[in-house]
Amino acid sequence: MEYSQPVPLRPWKTAAVVASGIAAIELAALVVLAVGAIAKPVAHQAQRVAVERTLAPVVRSKPSQPGAPMPRSETAVVVLNGNGIAGAASDAAARVKALGYVLGSVGNAPRSDYRRTIVMYRPGREAEGRRLARDLKLRVVAPLDGMSTAQLLGAQVAVVLGRG
């Protein structure tokens, strides 16, 4: 009968493999956390810079006659989605541009529960606001309410889209 030698157990090898596995898992977790911690601020910064470059203030001349509206080709319009329907602002922006207006910016309104579409104008630009409302067949026209002139980024008029 042959007797084989028992294989000596080497617990230190098993412990080393287990410790290496745990270290690899910890490293992966740290990498995921680091990417998450860095990626969010970097993404927000990149988005802010892109928005600033895209929505640079639109500077336009004043009308030649007091009380006369600026030409459509010089009237900048901000279009904001206030109804929460995806793509509504871009559709409205295309209509505004087709009418000959300059697009100042297109985006989302601070709220998405506007019931009616409204045209708002900055001080001294009521004529442009009323003309835009007439062109878009809208009835609600008002001075800026809930927005500052700085939020218009140089535009004279804003259209906030509502559900009706």
Distance CA 146, CA 113 (A): 14
Residues 160 and 141 sit within 8 Å (Cβ to Cβ): no
Per-residue pLDDT reduced to its tens digit, 84-140: 999 999 999 999 999 999 998 899 988 888 899 999 999 999 999 999 999 999 999
- pLDDT of residue 19 exceeding 80: yes
What's the rounded mean pLDDT across residues 74-83?
94
Per-residue pLDDT reduced to its tens digit, 47-66: 666 655 554 454 444 544 55
Distance CA 23, CA 118 (A): 59
Distance CA 157, CA 162 (A): 16
Distance CA 65, CA 122 (A): 18
Distance CA 111, CA 30 (A): 38
Let me know if domain 72-161 sits in CATH 1.10.150. no
Distances (CA, A) of 62 to 7, 57, 75, 121: 94, 15, 10, 15
Distance CA 56, CA 138 (A): 27
- The H-or-E segment that residue 77 falls in is strand 76-81
Query: In the numeric block, which tokens belong to residue 62?
Result: 């004043």
Distance CA 67, CA 17 (A): 83
Distance CA 151, CA 164 (A): 24
Distance CA 153, CA 55 (A): 7
**The one-letter amino acid at 142:** A
Residues 157 and 122 sit within 8 Å (Cβ to Cβ): yes
Distance CA 149, CA 42 (A): 29
The pTM (predicted TM-score) of the whole model is 0.59
* In the chain, where the domains are located: 11-54, 72-161
